[in-house]
Amino acid sequence: MKRVGVFLCWCGSNISSAVDLDQVAEQTALLPHVVHVEQYKYLCSDPGQETVRKAIKEHALNRVVIAACSPRMHERTFRRAVGSVGLNPHLMEIANIREQCSWVHPDKVTSTPVAVDLVRTAVAKAVKDIPLEPSYVGIEKRALVVGGGIAGIQAALDIADSGYEVVLVEREPTIGGRMAQLDKTFPTLDCSSCILTPKMVEAGQDPRIRLLTYAEVESLSGYIGNFEARIRMKARSVDLDRCTGCGDCWNKCPYRSPGEFDLGLGKRKAIYLPFPQAVPNKPVLDRATCAYFQKDGKCQVCKKVCAPGAIDFEQQDEILEERFGAVVVATGFDLWDHGRYGEYGAGQHPDVISSLEFERLVSASGPTDGKIKRPSDGKLPERVVFIQCVGSRDEAKGVPYCSKVCCMYTAKHAILLKEKIPSSQSYVFYIDVRAAGKNYEEFYRRATVEYGAQYIRGRVSRIYPRGDSLVVVGEDTLLGQKVEVEADLVVLATAVVSRSDAPQVAQKLGFSYDQHGFFTEAHPKLAPVETNTAGIFLAGACQGPKDIPDTVAQAGAAAAKVVRLFAKDQLETEPTVARVDRARCAGCEWCRPICPYKAIEMEAVTERVGSGQVARRVAKVNPSLCHGCGACSVACRSGAMNLLGFSNEQVWAEVEALCL
Partner 1 sequence: MRSEAVRAAARRLLEEGKVVRFLGHAPGFDPTSPFPQLITRAEEAERLVLDHFCAPNLAKYLLDYETQEGVTAVVLKGCDALGLARLLADHRVARDRVWVVGLPCPGMLDRDKAAALLPGVQEARAEGDEFVLTGAGGERRVAAGQVLLDRCLVCAVPTPDDADELLGEPVPGRPVPREEDAAVAALEAMTSAERKAYWTEQFSRCIRCMACRNVCPACNCRSCCFDSEEPRWLSRVTDGPAQEMFHFVRALHVAGRCVDCHECERVCPMDIPLMKLNHKLLQDVEELFELERAFVPREVEPLGIYRPDDPEEFA
Q: Which residues contact partner 1 by CB under 8 A? A: 503, 507, 583-590, 593-594, 596, 609, 614, 616-617, 631, 635, 637-640, 648-649, 652-653
Minimum distance of partner 1 from residue 594's CB (angstroms): 6
Decide whether 473 or 651 has the Cβ nearer to partner 1: 651
CB of 509 to partner 1, least distance (A): 13
- Residue number with CB closer to partner 1 (265 or 618): 618
Task: Give CA separation, 47 vs 11, 40, 50, 81, 289, in Å.
Answer: 13, 9, 5, 11, 71
Pairing of strands 454-457, 425-430: parallel
Q: How far is the CB of 400 from partner 1 (least distance, A)?
A: 23
CB 545 within 8 A of CB 404: yes
What are the angstrom distances between the C-alpha of 638 and each of 270, 457, 579, 652? 61, 66, 13, 15
C-beta of 560 vs 602, nearer to partner 1: 602
Please give the angle made by the CA atoms of 489, 491 and 497, to the nearest 5 degrees. 155
Smallest gap, in angstroms, from Cβ of residue 607 to partner 1?
A: 8
Q: How far apart are CA 529 and CA 281, in angstroms?
A: 31
Distance CA(386)–CA(532), nearest Å, equals 39
Q: What is d(CA 135, CA 643) in angstroms, rounded to the nearest whole number?
A: 15
Instruction: Measure Cα distances from 452 to 321, 417, 447, 535 in Å.
Output: 56, 11, 6, 50
Alpha-carbon gap, residue 177 to 332, rounded angstroms: 8
CB 42 within 8 A of CB 101: no
Tally of CA atoms within 13 A in the half-sphere of 498 that contains its CB: 20
User: Considering beta carbons, is residue 230 or 617 the nearer one to partner 1?
Assistant: 617
Burial of residue 88 (CB within 10 Å: 0-12, 13-18, 19+) is: middle
Q: How far is the CB of 521 from partner 1 (least distance, A)?
A: 20
* DSSP per position, 571-617: EEEPS--EEE-TTT-----SHHHH-TT--EEEEEEEEEETTEEEEEE
C-beta of 508: minimal distance to partner 1 in Å? Answer: 10
Neighbouring CB atoms inside 10 A of 289's CB total 18
What minimum distance in Å lies between the beta carbon of 581 and partner 1? 8
Q: Which is nearer to partner 1, 60 or 655 (CB)?
A: 655
Smallest gap from residue 348 Cβ to partner 1 (A): 34
- Is the Cβ of residue 59 or residue 592 nearer to partner 1 in the bound state? 592
**Nearer to partner 1 among residue 377 and residue 649 (C-beta):** 649
Q: To the nearest whole angstrom, how small is the minimum distance from the Cβ of residue 72 to partner 1?
A: 24
Q: 497, 490 in Cβ contact below 8 A?
A: no
Element (H, E) at 385: strand 383-390
- How far apart CA 43 and CA 47 sit, in angstroms, is 8
Spatial contact of 360 and 181, defined as CB atoms under 8 Å apart: yes
Q: Rounded to the nearest whole angstrom, what is the least distance from the CB of residue 159 to partner 1 in the complex?
A: 30
Our CB check for partner 1 shows the closer of 288 and 659 to be 659
Q: Least distance to partner 1 from the beta carbon of 634, Å?
A: 11
Contacts of 285 (CB under 8 A, 6+ apart): 236, 237, 238, 270, 271, 302, 311
Cα(558)–Cα(426) distance, integer angstroms: 40
Of all helices (H) and strands (E), which one includes residue 116?
helix 108-127
CB of 639 to partner 1, least distance (A): 5
Smallest gap from Cβ 587 to partner 1, in A, equals 5
CA 408 to chain centre: 24
Please report how close the Cβ of residue 536 comes to partner 1 at its closest, in angstroms: 17
Of the pair 554, 647, the CB lying nearest partner 1 is at 647
CA distance 7 to 19: 14
Helices 108-127, 21-29: axis angle to 10 degrees equals 30
Q: Which residues contact 194 (CB under 8 A, 6 or more apart)?
A: none
In the complex, minimum distance from the CB of residue 610 to partner 1, in angstroms, rounded to a whole number: 8
Kindly compute the dihedral angle of the four CA atoms of residues 527, 533, 534, 539, in this order, to the nearest 10 degrees. -50
Can you tell me the distance from the alpha carbon of 644 to that of 647, in angstroms, rounded to the nearest whole number?
Answer: 5
Q: How far is the CB of 621 from partner 1 (least distance, A)?
A: 17
Q: How far apart are CA 365 and CA 345, in angstroms?
A: 28
Q: How far apart are CA 160 and CA 147, in angstroms?
A: 16
- By C-beta, is 143 or 640 nearer to partner 1? 640
Residue 349 CB burial class (10 angstroms; 0-12, 13-18, ≥19): middle
